[in-house]
Amino acid sequence: MNHFELFAIEPEYAVDLADLQVRYRKLQQAMHPDRFANASERDKLLAVQRTSQLNDAYHTLRDPLGRAEYILGLRGVDMQHEQKTLQDPEFLMAQMEWRERVEELNAGDFTAIDQAYSDLERETKVLQEQLEQQIAEADNDEAANSIRKLKFMHKLGRELEALEDA
């Protein structure tokens, strides 16, 4: 049973997160290992395994990048262990520009950091919209490239957060 089947939802990129959470809580209550306290050891073990699968499925589907990778995985595209690099010269140039921009930011310059966050959010939103369209059109290669780009953007966001915390 795949993650979407577990929650009885359509295998689509656009997921109603509030509905997903409601379904998760219902399933969590039904599958919780405490409900099997008086069961056989085998049934207890199965309950723990099902709860683990449920938690993994919920966290995967709740995260847009995880969900996109999972959908591609269902289509036979395994991005979990890949070593493929992005071959988009325009995006590689943008990466270098972002790297330079982040390196030039000063920890105390909150205005510049906020502007970088805003720019990053805007570019990330465009990439997410492209990803959603690519998944809907089953353009798996381009969707995989968009996921690679979004991973970079998320990493950059964490770096901006660290700079802000400093």
- Phi first, then psi: what are they for 84, rounded to 5°? -70, 135
pLDDT at 59 over 90: yes
Which stretch of DSSP H or E encloses residue 65? helix 64-74
pLDDT at 166 over 90: no
Question: In this prediction, what percent of the chain has a pLDDT beyond 90?
Answer: 69
Tokens of 47: 């309950």
Tell me which of 20-24, 106-110, 134-138 is least confident: 106-110
Higher-confidence residue of 82 and 142: namely 142
- Structural domains of the chain in order of their starting residue, each with its CATH number: 3-62 (1.10.287.110), 89-165 (1.20.1280)
| Residue pair 108/164 in contact by the 8 Å Cβ criterion | no
* pTM, two decimal places: 0.84
The pLDDT-based confidence of 23 (bands split at 50, 70, 90) is: very high
Alpha carbon 160 to chain centroid, angstroms: 19
**Other Cβ atoms closer than 10 A to 72:** 21
| Residue pair 80/60 in contact by the 8 Å Cβ criterion | no
Tokens of 18: 């509030």
